[in-house]
Amino acid sequence: MAKSKTVFVCSECGNESAKWLGKCPACNSWNTFYEQKIVETKSSKSSVLNYEKNTPKKLNSYQSEEEIRVSTGFEELNRVLGGGLVKGSLVLLGGEPGIGKSTLILQLCNKIKGEGVVLYVSGEESAEQIKLRADRLGIKNENIMFLGETNIEVVDNAIMELNPKLVIIDSVQTMYSDELSAAVGSVSQVREITSQIMRICKARKITTILIGHVTKDGNIAGPRVLEHMVDTVLYIEGERYFSYRILRGIKNRFGSTNEIGMFEMNDKGMCEITNPSDVLISERDGNPAGSCIISCIEGTRPVLIELQALTTQSIYGIPKRTANGIDYNRLALLIAVLEKKTGLMLGGQDVYLNVVGGMRINEPSIDLGIIAVTASIFKNIPIPKEMVIMGEVGLTGEVRRINMIEKRLKEAEKLGFKTCIIPESNKKLLKEKYKLDIIGVSNINEAMKKIGIK
């Protein structure tokens, strides 16, 4: 009979120890040891026979099976997954508490009617709580089976008895195995739970969605190997107190990771947003100074967003810089470039910048928009309402080329904008003709003149 023993393994370097250590002696990392169960097997003829059975074969001798996909009922979710859920795949969905993970998955269970039994396993909420949410969301699927359990052995038995088409585990950090003495939610428990679920669902070709908690750093709680074991890793992003959510693929063995899906959280649950640009700029009223429209790329989709800025006389000796939706250091850098290259004296001004809608943008193509909207509010000169500004700005004040310019221009044209300020290097490479008035600029001084601020 196979013997088992427990060792402690460093999650950073893989160093093993017979007992728990606060600091790893190999890589000097703190609090990285987690408990792991190892099964020892004797070397016998059976192992030799297994080795002989699994001899290498030519890759061309194997027959590939066509991926069978099931639509989730959400076009935005299908886009991120690469066309739908692949039969037998293991999907990990992460996000902050209250972001809408359980709501989205419960709606998904309702939309895949006719695909067989759905087993919803919850270790966090009772059946009454799930039923109240289901009634609020209008869930009417009679094939949804609920199991309130945290013991993985009981869950495994339920999966083998029901043989469902879809299994939901909410959440993987609440499950535990009797074979391990570690606490619920520990690194070793999460790893063992995922391994057991993967073995059963892969063997029976059952599609499984694991819901995971995230840490303070935004990573899914548990060992990093958890993300390597699953087929797809999805994150729901967005500010908790804003209604918009972005579903982003971090890993996908069956599709691209360059796509995103956008949803709005309301009293009806998670609602798809098929045209994000129209939603994000729909509430723009009038043409005040300190407001402009920028273009960014989310995945492979161009999105037009309103950018707002405010400058006020600083009361204290050190001016304040506040950035909501962009990197603070990027804002400070662009203000320094604006002061140096255009002569605007912002040293005594508090500068506040906000991306409307709670979006977070890390793309450098919004640099020129940040500079333009800051100069606009400082001089109290409004930017033309039907203008879109895009371009990366270097430290010497030059406007550098950006990618996917054709998609950005088509999106601006579709939404009825008349003028686009783009880098001169991008304008020279344009092949198609647009109804837009496309203006190329080489530096920020030239851009200020074309916009009408300088």
- 354-398 pLDDT, tens digit per residue, is 998 878 898 999 999 999 999 999 999 999 999 999 999 999 999
149, pLDDT greater than 80: yes
pLDDT the model gives residue 237: 87
pLDDT the model gives residue 240: 66
Per-residue pLDDT band for 450 (boundaries 50, 70, 90) equals very high
pLDDT digits (tens, 9 = 90+) for 343-360: 999 989 999 999 988 788
pLDDT the model gives residue 216: 64
70/112 Cα distance (integer angstroms) = 8
426, pLDDT greater than 50: yes
43, pLDDT greater than 50: no
pLDDT the model gives residue 41: 43
Per-residue pLDDT band for 228 (boundaries 50, 70, 90) equals confident
pLDDT digits (tens, 9 = 90+) for 335-345: 999 999 999 99
Per-residue pLDDT band for 18 (boundaries 50, 70, 90) equals confident
Query: What does pLDDT average to over the chain?
Result: 87
Per-residue pLDDT band for 57 (boundaries 50, 70, 90) equals confident
Q: According to DSSP H, which parts of 138-281 are helical?
A: 152-162, 187-204, 225-229, 276-280
39, pLDDT greater than 70: no
Task: Note the pTM of the prediction, 2 decimals.
Answer: 0.77
Percent of the chain topping pLDDT 90: 54
Give the containing element (helix H, strand E) for 271.
strand 269-272
pLDDT the model gives residue 221: 62
Give the pair of three-digit tokens for residue 16.
């093993």
Number of helices (H) and strands (E), helices first, in the chain? 13, 23
Average pLDDT in the 69-84 region?
A: 91
By the 10 Å C-beta count (0-12 exposed, 13-18 middle, 19+ buried), 429 is classed as exposed
277, pLDDT greater than 60: yes
194, pLDDT greater than 60: yes
47, pLDDT greater than 70: no
432, pLDDT greater than 80: yes
3-state SS assignment for residue 315: coil
By the 10 Å C-beta count (0-12 exposed, 13-18 middle, 19+ buried), 426 is classed as buried
- How many residues in total does the chain contain? 454
Per-residue pLDDT band for 46 (boundaries 50, 70, 90) equals very low
Closest CA to 79 of 218, 295, 261, 300: 261
